[in-house]
Structure 1
Amino acid sequence: MKINIGIEESDRKDITAGLSALLADTYTLYLKTHNYHWNVTGPMFQGLHTLFETQYTELALAVDLIAERIRALGEFAPGSYKEFAKLTSIKEAEGHSTADEMIKDLVKGQEAIAKTARSIVPVADKASDEPTLDLLTQRMQIHEKNAWMLRSLIS
Structure 2
Amino acid sequence: MTTTLDAKQTELVRALNRNQANTLVAYLNYKKYHWMTYGPLFRDLHLLFEEHGNDVFAMLDELAERSLMIDGTPIADPNDYLTVATVNASSGKLSVKQMVEEAIATHELIIDEMHKDTEAADGAGDIGTADLYTRLVQTHQKHRWFLKEILKKGDGLLL
TM-score by length of 1: 0.91
Q: Percent identity, please.
A: 25
Q: Which residue number in structure 2 is paired with residue 9 of structure 1?
A: 6
Q: Which residue number in structure 2 is paired with residue 126 of structure 1?
A: 123
Work out the number of aligned pairs and report it. 152
Contact 2:119/2:130 (8 A) holds in 1: no
Q: Which residue number in structure 1 is paired with residue 24 of structure 2?
A: 27
Displacement of 1:60: 1.0
User: Quick one: which of 83, 86, 89 aligns to 2:86?
Assistant: 89
Q: Which residue number in structure 2 is paired with residue 73 of structure 1?
A: 70
Partners in 2 of 1:54 and 1:21 — Cα distance? 23
1:57-101 CA distances to partner (integer Å, 9 max, x unpaired)?
111110110000011111111133431111111111111111111
Partners in 2 of 1:80 and 1:116 — Cα distance? 23
1:23-59 CA distances to partner (integer Å, 9 max, x unpaired)?
1111100000011111111111100011111111111
Is 1:106 the counterpart of 2:103? The answer is: yes
Greater CA drift, 18-27 or 72-81? 72-81
Displacement of 1:2: 5.6
TM-score by length of 2: 0.89
SS in 1 for 2:150: coil
Q: Structure 1 unaligned runs (5+)? A: none
Which has the bigger relative contact order, CA under 8 A and spacing at least 6?
1
Partners in 2 of 1:21 and 1:116 — Cα distance? 9
Is 1:36 the counterpart of 2:60? The answer is: no
**Any runs of at least 4 consecutive aligned residues in structure 1 with deviations exceeding 3 A, and if so which?**
none
Amino acid in structure 2 at the alignment position of 1:23: Q
Q: Residue 80 and residue 36 in structure 1: after superposition, are their counterparts in 2 closer, same or farther (change >3 A)?
A: farther
CA RMSD across the alignment? 1.6
